Structure 1
């Protein structure tokens, strides 16, 4: 198994911090593992077993608990699978790492097979948004609708300043530096869940991500292959790139996208504005259900 832990790092401390955050979700969640050729992928499942599937991918250095403000509302209408991305700081147990976009698409296909479903809505925040875009581009037949929240690169390159601050927090993980990074990612006047903030500190001080597929700019051809209806939301205080330019490129290139800039929000969009984001996601996904005669 590929280990994410630093020398002297404690898996128990990380698990305890993760479980405390999950305990705040306000809805029953099941902790499970899906067996793939990349190892055992941990995920949280919530919502009615017979409901349409929604697979969620978290941000870099977070975990499936990063959906703490969203999973209760989203699972009211969907069977939610919040996945721990292999190689990041979470409960997955990778035997080999995802090193390419092709690997990522292959892993996702195996994941759906383990869930016992043939297709799903998918969504992601930050790095998870990048992952969701790759999957939708390379496996369009498996994706019903796509939700992209503040994607890591993807539509525009990440700023070098943002990348450097993330690297420093990873390699020199003082509590002050980690909190400063989280503050920088959060829109002015907003807050994110303090238990989740604490989890990120514990995570980075005990482990280091081994993710090999890093966020990058997707080409026009890659974006054009995303044929699933897509919802792209980016905060007007996004720190990676200019939100308006990102939305403009998506509208110009992606075949079927609704792209919006959310006012008074930063990179932590689904944590900063959960009510607004949850409502927009449910409205967007619900249209497909109505058109198919469901609900």
Structure 2
């Protein structure tokens, strides 16, 4: 089954994405992997330390457009369209309980010649980076996680509320998305997510939760930031479990699942300066 609700919807989301890509200078890579072709947006000095960006669910690398100017001053940036998401990569969705996503990221890093890389991630991208870091710690120089999932059960209340609000039609769906993101209903971010949800089939089923033994194997520097008012993720549990594994975690008061700001850049540049990127 395709990840899109219709071919017209798929075409609309691709056109919007391609239009967004025109707004910022970059190279475009189409990388063969065991899971199908993977689209990567690359920019920054070729000799700089590699930084991999992994967006959230229901998104693509345009999510990082506003971050590129600052990031490419310090890193060779590779924004990866996650497979099975509404970007330009293959629609493949391997089971999350397997090591196939790790093999996929191996192929991406091998293609760009990065023996090790740091990762900057959002939400589901954080789950993928944590999965990779627990399976391939030698290839991960540092982890900067924004509202990561997989560290505790997802909150159930937001699902019930979303279903009830959906009964109110477009207005209810807008309120639901705004509530999850912690953004005003008039936000363009809310509008984009509404467009995606109208045309794209999100992943279903629970995301596996990482055990303490897996988290104890995170030998690289780890920084995470999460919204204290996240309606979808238990941020207090995220903070407690990551700090127990040696990470630094900031909870942002009055903030939901969408986190503005860029405190993670200081963490990443410090990790690079300390030699954590050395192979």
Does TM, scored on the shorter chain, surpass 0.5? yes
| Closer/same/farther in 2, CA of residues 130 and 159 from structure 1, 3 Å limit | same
Deviations 1:106-161 (A, max 9, x none): 11111111222111001211111111111111110110000111012x22111123
Match of 2:238 in 1: 246
| Closer/same/farther in 2, CA of residues 248 and 90 from structure 1, 3 Å limit | same
Match of 1:218 in 2: 210
Tell me how far 1:162 sits from its aligned partner: 3.2
1:9-28 correspondence runs (5 A): 9-24=8-23, 27-28=24-25
Retained in 2: the 8 A contact 1:233–1:261?
yes
Aligned residues: 276
Retained in 2: the 8 A contact 1:18–1:65?
yes
Q: Secondary structure at the match of 1:137?
A: helix
TM-score, structure 1 length as denominator? 0.82
| Closer/same/farther in 2, CA of residues 225 and 177 from structure 1, 3 Å limit | farther
Q: Secondary structure at the match of 2:114?
A: coil
How far, CA to CA, are the matches of 1:212 and 1:98 in structure 2?
Answer: 13
Residue 128 (1) aligns with residue 118 (2): no
Q: Secondary structure at the match of 2:144?
A: strand
Retained in 2: the 8 A contact 1:17–1:198?
no
1:44-123 correspondence runs (5 A): 44-94=41-91, 96-99=92-95, 100-123=97-120
Match of 2:181 in 1: 186
How far, CA to CA, are the matches of 2:227 and 2:214 in structure 1?
Answer: 23
TM-score, structure 2 length as denominator? 0.87
Among residues 259, 264, 273, which one is paired with 1:281 in the alignment? 264
| Closer/same/farther in 2, CA of residues 181 and 57 from structure 1, 3 Å limit | farther
Residue 261 (1) aligns with residue 251 (2): yes
Aligned-residue CA RMSD in angstroms? 2.9
Structure 1: which 5+ residue stretches go unaligned?
none
How far, CA to CA, are the matches of 2:113 and 2:40 in structure 1?
Answer: 14
